[in-house]
Amino acid sequence: MGDWRGPALGGLGGQSLGEVWGVSLQVFPPFSSKEHVGGQAQCCLALFLLALLGELWLPALLYAAWLYLDRETPARGGRRSPWVRRWAVWRHFRDYFPITLVKTAPLDPSRNYLFGFHPHGVLVAGAFGNFCTEATGFGELFPGLTPHLLMLPFWFRLPLFRDYIMSGGDVSYLLGHEGGGQVAVIAVGGPPESLEARPGALTLQILSRKGFIKAALQHGAALVPVFSFGENELFHQVPNPRGSLVRAVQERLQKLMGLALPLFHARGVFQYSFGLLPFRRPIHTVVGAPILVPRTPCPSHQAIDRLHATYLERLITLFEEHKTKYGVPPEKHLNLI
């Protein structure tokens, strides 16, 4: 299990933020899918090893020394690049599905916020498109706010790749940032929830996820429920019901690696019956109204439970108010586990 104490959200007074997802998180990189992340990571690692074993061994060795000296940068703010967020390629990514961002209430830029993103889906495509890029106009909808999407720190350990992904920024001290204006975006269900992602699924792993609630209380960050309609429609998955051999293997690998491995498939480049490209399905990411949270450095279990219950009520209300607008039948409801 990972630990959320050091990087990401600037510490929780000794509580492991693995209680939120069972994994550590830092800022999400600017990529469009898990296979792209893995593929580019492998390429970066291969290039580094080729350089180290070839004629470029000295520059590679110097870079390895730089990696050691620069190892804390992801936990101290990263190297955020607004230029990367505005790349034209992200507009093509947005239009592929397409992705839209829906604002339901104003957010005061003098505050810091913790967005709970639901559902995780296979790609977290809506979270990426809306909060890691400016393709859907986050800056115009929420002026004065800077979003940061959290990710596994595993990716920050890979040579070359970690320097590229740090252009997205980091959130080690985000919630405690003086002056406000910072938004931490958390896919609350985490990797385990991705194993539930398939068309029509509305299962959220959230009943035992309370670490993010404690973080909001300790820093006085306002909580904002976010529901991304269409997030689970992008891929099919190999059947993996709870108790099956497939699910048992997936859960075991997740405990060992910290990464979920959903066996997903969708469409290809030139045909629509099978492939790893996501289906073109609209994604509507709806940002709810904020829940103002008093700063409580040492919140009690009762305070955490009360705020968690309030958050669940607001999340359910947000879903019910908007579901029929975005293709969810009125008789369908969230399944919270």
Mean pLDDT of all residues in 166-177: 59
pLDDT digits (tens, 9 = 90+) for 260-310: 889 999 998 888 888 989 999 999 999 999 999 999 999 999 999 999 999
Helix (H/G/I), strand (E/B), else coil: 128: helix
Q: Is residue 224 domain-resident?
A: yes
Q: Is residue 131 domain-resident?
A: yes
Helix (H/G/I), strand (E/B), else coil: 265: strand
The Cα–Cα gap between 309 and 306 comes to 5
pLDDT digits (tens, 9 = 90+) for 271-281: 888 898 999 99
Helix (H/G/I), strand (E/B), else coil: 34: helix
The pTM of the full predicted model, rounded to 2 decimals, is: 0.79
Mean pLDDT of all residues in 41-48: 62
Range of the domain at 166: 18-33+75-336
Q: Is residue 177 domain-resident?
A: yes
Place of tokens 């909060």: 131
Q: Is residue 167 domain-resident?
A: yes
Q: Is residue 173 domain-resident?
A: yes
Mean pLDDT of all residues in 315-319: 99
Mean pLDDT of all residues in 44-62: 75
In this structure, of 66-80, 198-212, 224-238, the range with the lowest mean pLDDT score is 66-80
Q: Is residue 53 domain-resident?
A: no
CA distances from 244 to 190, 192, 254, 284 (A): 21, 15, 15, 32
Q: Average pLDDT, whole number, for the chain?
A: 82
Name the pLDDT band for 75 (thresholds 50, 70, 90): low
Q: Is residue 161 domain-resident?
A: yes
Q: Is residue 83 domain-resident?
A: yes
Name the pLDDT band for 138 (thresholds 50, 70, 90): very high
**How many domains in the chain?**
1
CA torsion sign, 226 to 315 to 97 to 264? positive
Q: Which residues pair with 228 in a beta bridge?
A: 285
Amino acid type, 92: H
Mean pLDDT of all residues in 105-129: 95
